[in-house]
Amino acid sequence: MRIRWERPVMLACKASGELLVITTTEEAFEFLTSKWPISGGKKYFTALEFCDRVAVGTADRERARLAFIAAAEEAGLPVTTIGVADTVE
């Protein structure tokens, strides 16, 4: 079941110039596994882990969203979110 995040994540794909809006953990996982611009990175693997944990019910969707934002920043992707400032603890 795809449950939308309360605050979607908008990012720009450097290679294509495409503007993408990621609205669910499943979309984030798909982007991480099929369109990610760099191979690896600590925050990349953390985001994958949290997306997987959401799928099996052992993590919160918001934590996966924050991990995805951190991975995007680590990869140098321009990221915008709507709402209160996002922080990863």
The domain locations on the chain are 23-81
SS3 call for 33:
helix
Q: The whole model's pTM is what?
A: 0.87
pLDDT digits 0-9 by tens, 10-21: 998 877 788 899
Q: With contact defined as beta carbons under 8 Å apart, do 32 and 71 qualify?
A: yes
Residue (of 19, 78, 23, 74) closest to 44 by Cα position: 74
Among the residue ranges 7-16, 46-55, 72-81, the one predicted with the least confidence is 7-16
Q: Look up residue 53 and give its amino acid.
A: R
Residue 78: C-alpha distances to residues 1, 53, 55, 69, 71 (Å): 28, 25, 26, 10, 11
